[in-house]
Amino acid sequence: MTASTAPLRSDATRTIPAIPANPLPPGWRPYPAWAQPARNGRAVHRAGDATTLVSMQCFARTQRRMLHAADPDPRANVTLARMVGLTYTANALNMTLPAGSAVSVAYTVKWLREWGSTNAAAVFTVVASGALSSATFFHSPWPPGRPQRRTPRPICS
């Protein structure tokens, strides 16, 4: 007998038990309610988009204030709309290009110089606003809630 003409074995004809549609006990969910994307996905995206818009707007305002603090010359009158556009473009360069942070800084300084700022004021604007943004990030209460107090450990015990 060859393999193609061999009779079927009896265990090959057994039926596989049906898997229940919901194997969890009644009332249980595989994920918490806030993690179900069908219900809350759009709201989470909208909140994230709004947060991004506010963050970029605030960073552009910070850069504009730093520019006016460093160079009060009216020739360097950069509108908020221009600064927001520059902030979005510099952020896109930073996120997409290799060595994007260096390209982003050079791009920002170039455009601030094009709009009438001095070289020193443009560099100060980029460095000071970046330092202020980093300091704000490190002092933010994340995760939200009451901060944990730690007792300092002695150097030598």
Range of the domain at 110: 42-136
For residue 84, tell me if it sits in a domain. yes
Looking at the domain assignment, is residue 59 inside a domain? yes
Give the Cα separation of 48 and 131 in Å (integer).
24
- Within a domain: 20: no
- Residue 104 pLDDT > 90, yes or no? yes
In a domain, 157, yes or no: no
| Whole-number pLDDT of residue 133 | 81
Task: Supply the pLDDT for residue 96.
Answer: 92
Residue 114 lies in a domain: yes
What global pTM score does this model have?
Answer: 0.59
pLDDT in tens, 70-90: 888 767 778 889 999 999 999
**68 belongs to a structural domain:** yes
Question: Which residues have C-beta within 8 Å of that of residue 125, sequence separation ≥ 6?
Answer: 63, 66, 67, 70, 108, 112, 117
- Angular region, 36: left φ>0, alpha ψ -120 to 50, beta rest: beta
Give me the percent of the chain exceeding a pLDDT of 90.
27
Q: In the chain, how many domains are there? A: 1
**What mean pLDDT do residues 118-132 have?**
90
* pLDDT band for position 25 (cuts 50, 70, 90): low
Which pLDDT belongs to residue 138? 72
At residue 135, φ and ψ (nearest 5 deg) are -65, -40
Selection from 114, 113, 111, 117 nearest residue 74 by Cα:
117
Q: Report how far residue 96's alpha carbon sits from residue 59's, in angstroms, rounded to the nearest whole number.
A: 19
Structure token pair of residue 27: 């009332």
Distance CA 121, CA 128 (A): 10
The residue with greater pLDDT, 124 or 15, is 124
The verdict on residue 62 lying in a domain is yes
- Domain-embedded: residue 132: yes
The pLDDT > 70 percentage for the chain reads 57
